[in-house]
Amino acid sequence: MSHKGWLPNKIVQVFDGNNTYCSRILGYDKNVLYLTAPASPQGRIWPAVGKTLGFSLEKTITPITVLERFLKPFPFLAVDLKGNIPYQEIVAYRPLKIIVVTGPKGGSGKTFLAANLASFLLNKGSKVLLIDGALGQEALHNIYDASQTSHPLNILSYFYNDPTPWELHNLLFDVAQKESDYDFVIIDTASGLSSLALLYSNIADYLLMVTNDTEASKELSLKYALEINKKSWQPEIGLILNNSPLKKDNFTSFLEKFQSNYVPSCYLGEVNHDPAELHCHKAKRLLIETFPSSEGTLGLINVFNEFLDRLDLQDNFTVRK
């Protein structure tokens, strides 16, 4: 049995005559493949309905025909396969490296968690790219100064105030181009159920959802999961309770409801309220590095280790040939 991400989210090649382009598989449903609009560093194509192209996961080229084109939220195609994809290429290993960090509402702590997760992985020797995906908000740059970390951290920022569909496509293509250079790509998103926040779920290998123990936060978390569940590709969601109060308000029943509504989900743990977090926010420093023994840091480490264990567990379901 192959991993549930056996086909979605893979980077593929698309051929149009003598030119080769890069695309990402967004999903597969009822013999229809959904692909981002093919692009290369030299340009992109927007093939008409009925156009036949070449398609390859690795070596074998298979013909595909464009069935439909979609412009929003970014340009992508629905295509029909005219031939079979070789089994070895179907189950070829797809690294679970694109980690999208999101939250149901502002102030949940997603940017705080994304920045500290990047530092945690860097300290383990991983190559990490941290992307500020909250377009126009400069959230990562407002929370800390990357030059003050113990490891140089590559941050990629996109400052679009009102991005067009093609600007979003350029962003996704840029991520695809840089993906092979890193062990992990962490994307910090805008908060809430905005189209920008949901955009990155299309390319996520794993979703980290940071929530709080408030009715509003729990309700929006469920709505977010239901929106993701409408897609043909559902990555696992790892739930994290941030700024956890000493007395939780019916959080166990929320977890049960969440997991019954969104099956590929797991509770990764909680990060308790820590006054040092506010100090680090004002000083633009990372909690995990500035206060390595604080209660908040210990909670972060436990959550991050549980998260890495989940990635290993998912990898065990991947068939390698």
Token digits of residue 187: 């994307």
Q: Which domains does the chain have, with CATH numbers?
A: 11-90 (2.30.110.10), 98-315 (3.40.50.300)
Q: What percent of the chain has pLDDT over 70?
A: 83
Kindly report the pTM of this predicted structure: 0.88
Looking at per-residue confidence, does 78 or 104 come out higher? 78
What residues have CB less than 8 Å from 309, skipping those under 6 apart? none
Can you name the residues that pair with 124 across neighbouring β-strands? none
Residue 42 has pLDDT above 70, yes or no: yes
Q: pLDDT-derived band of residue 319, with 50, 70 and 90 as boundaries?
A: very low
Residues 123-177: tens digit of each pLDDT: 999 999 998 887 666 667 666 666 566 666 788 877 777 788 998 899 889 999 9
Can you name the residues that pair with 211 across neighbouring β-strands? 241
Q: With 0-12 CB in 10 A as exposed, 13-18 as middle and 19+ as buried, what is 98?
A: buried
Rounded Cα distance between 175 and 52, Å, is 26
Rounded Cα distance between 18 and 20, Å, is 7
pLDDT at 318: 41
Rg (the chain; Cα; Å):
20
Residue 304 has pLDDT above 80, yes or no: yes
Residue 233 has pLDDT above 70, yes or no: no
**What's the average model confidence in pLDDT over 20-34?**
85
Rounded Cα distance between 183 and 197, Å, is 23
Of 170-174, 263-267, 295-299, the poorest mean pLDDT is in 263-267
